[in-house]
Amino acid sequence: MPKVVETQSMLLQVLILVFFVLSASVKNGNAGITSTFIRSEWPSNDIPLDHEVFAVPKGHNAPQQVHITQGDYNGKAVIISWVTPDEPGTSKVQYGVSKKNYDFTAEGAVRNYTFYNYTSGYIHQCLVDGLEYDTKYYYKIGNGDSYREFWFQTPPKINPDTPYKFGIIGDLGQTYNSLATLEHYMQSGAQAVLFVGDLAYADRYMYNDVGIRWDTWGRFVERSAAYQPWMWSVGNHEIEYMPYLGEVIPFKSYLNRYPTPHLASKSSSPLWYAIRRASAHIIVLSSYSPFVKYTPEWEWLQEELERVDREKTPWLIVLMHVPIYNSNEAHFMEGESMRAVFEEWFVHYKVDVIFAGHVHAYERSYRISNIHYNVSGGDCYPAADESAPVYITVGDGGNQEGLAERFRDPQPDYSAFREASYGHSTLEIKNRTHALYHWNRNDDGKKVPTDAFVLHNQYWGSNLRRRKLKKHHLRSVVGRVSSF
Ligand SMILES: *[C@@H]1O[C@H](CO)[C@@H](O)[C@H](O)[C@H]1NC(C)=O
Ligand SMILES: *[C@@H]1O[C@H](CO)[C@@H](O)[C@H](O)[C@H]1NC(C)=O
Ligand SMILES: *[C@@H]1O[C@H](CO)[C@@H](O)[C@H](O)[C@H]1NC(C)=O
Ligand SMILES: *[C@@H]1O[C@H](CO)[C@@H](O)[C@H](O)[C@H]1NC(C)=O
Ligand SMILES: [Fe+2]
């Protein structure tokens, strides 16, 4: 071996050794990773009103801000919403299973509201129900020549082994970073969005600009939300408590614009509800509504958790805005009040994963819980707990407030991965036991898969259930063989 090459290879060996020593010492201290990735980002400014991403569709009174969400408990209905700017027009949806062939009609309702000196357009909401599972539907809305056409795909019927891919987006806003996140999400192949609160950031504006920025956001997300359901949950930017403008009714713009199927899960408020989709049971909570013992949200959650049937929907997912485990300086400890009330249930019912937003960064926890503390006992530290959910914060959609760059040091033992970059996540359910999770960072305009792992189902992962599953498969194989 020539001398130069030899020294180089020795150098390499030393480097490798140093690397292992370093990484071993990191493991001894903290198991988690704080990524030091230096990201390039656009300034956190909202996209100007006259930008093409907010373009108003052509034609008199043409429908705009079209979005859909699941309309029932099991996925055989959608709620279609849109705005007509000039006059009420029709709230009718024509739909069918082949292009331009609209065999069916559903009739919706129209509403409007004011916010300070802003008057909304005519907001149409139409429930389209009795749909077939796993079917592509085409739909048409609007009057005369100004009609517009879209399509969506219904989910497969509830079944424990049905694959399904969800996207998770939070704190989106309407900046160029938001646009990058949205475009990257749309390349992901995911079939529905779980949105973890803080939509438009319109409350950063004053007077009639609040309403105007809700409108631009509706036109902004239409490119995805008109074609696949976005499951909504509320964040603090939806509260819009603005006494200086005479506006004090919480969630006024949000509740007028983003309906949810709360009645289908026996909820008394659109702010918390549940749906089932393919092999997942999704529970949506409101961080900004009363949730302590005996409140409607608490009573409802208690009942809804009892309704979860992991034999039919193995995957139990909870959405909320404020993260319960967060080691960022931003919003530190804000999730403690909800943790004190609900964490025990999340562990008892073996929730698979809890997605939150609020903190403008990405963080993932190990399975941990902190449920042994009582005011007369000192046992108050998060500890490893196989029954606990994984907590994931994806408040990194890209809104105008910028990134939450300051993580607390040292990284707590429960924190597995954290990074202050914009991006989105996907959860790709494979079957009742396995799901693939990805966090995708926005990097120089590209989408880069960054934090990825296999999520093992909490219910079907137990030894007992695994044995049962094996027997079940054996039986179905024997059944198939004996039927020959
Ligand atoms: C809603 O629309 C109706 C019909 O055009 C109009 O009379 C009413 O004033 C509007 N309401 C609000 C709150 O602007
Ligand atoms: C609403 O009020 C603000 C502040 O008084 C003013 O600048 C704006 O032009 C008004 N907009 C409308 C639509 O009246
Ligand atoms: C509180 O915790 C302490 C220490 O773990 C335990 O001994 C005690 O029984 C607990 N009390 C109640 C009321 O649960
Ligand atoms: C579930 O999916 C995982 C990942 O694709 C695969 O390895 C496993 O064999 C599947 N299990 C069953 C029971 O099909
Ligand atoms: Fe927030």
Q: What is the dihedral of CA 168, 170, 173, 177, to 10 degrees?
A: -70
Q: Tell me: the pLDDT tens digits for 252-278?
A: 999 999 999 999 999 999 999 999 999
Residue 281 is among the residues annotated as catalytic for this protein:
no
The superfamily in CATH containing domain 159-468 is Metallo-dependent phosphatases (3.60.21.10)
Q: Tell me: the pLDDT tens digits for 203-228?
A: 999 999 999 999 999 999 999 999 99
Our CA angle for 284, 285, 286, nearest 5°, is 135
- pLDDT for position 482: 42
Burial zone of 335 (CB within 10 Å; 0-12 exposed, 13-18 middle, 19+ buried)? buried
DSSP three-state, residue 457: coil
Distance CA 107, CA 267 (A): 24
Distance CA 172, CA 213 (A): 13
Q: Tell me: the pLDDT tens digits for 133-185?
A: 999 999 999 999 999 999 999 999 999 999 999 999 999 999 999 999 999 99
Burial zone of 255 (CB within 10 Å; 0-12 exposed, 13-18 middle, 19+ buried)? middle
Ligand nearest to the CA of 119: 1
Our CA angle for 265, 268, 273, nearest 5°, is 40
| Residue owning the nearest CA to atom 1 of ligand 1 | 112
Q: Tell me: the pLDDT tens digits for 43-59?
A: 789 999 999 999 999 99
Mean pLDDT of 119-136: 98
DSSP three-state, residue 201: coil
Q: Would you place residue 36 in the very low, low, confident or very high pLDDT band (cuts 50, 70, 90)?
A: confident
Q: Which residues contact 381 (CB under 8 A, 6 or more apart)?
A: 370
- pLDDT for position 472: 72
Pocket test for ligand 1, best of 84, 91, 112, 252 (most atoms within 8 A of CB): 112
pLDDT at residue 41 is higher than 80? no
Q: Tell me: the pLDDT tens digits for 271-284?
A: 999 999 999 999 99
pTM equals 0.91
Higher pLDDT, 479 or 466: 466
Tell which atom from ligand 2 comes closest to the C-alpha of 116: 1
Per cent of the chain over pLDDT 90 is 82
Distance 199 CA to ligand 5 centre (A): 9
CA-based nearest residue to 101, from 125, 136, 66: 136
How many CA atoms lie within 13 Å of 155's alpha carbon, on the beta-carbon side?
A: 30
CA-based nearest residue to 359, from 307, 396, 305: 396
Tokens 């503390």 -> residue: 373
Distance 215 CA to ligand 1 centre (A): 17
Q: Would you place residue 10 in the very low, low, confident or very high pLDDT band (cuts 50, 70, 90)?
A: very low
Distance CA 364, CA 193 (A): 19
Tell which atom from ligand 4 comes closest to the C-alpha of 469: 13
Q: What Cα–Cα distance (Å) separates residue 167 from each residue in 186, 190, 229?
A: 9, 6, 11
* Residue 277: φ, ψ to 5°: -145, 120
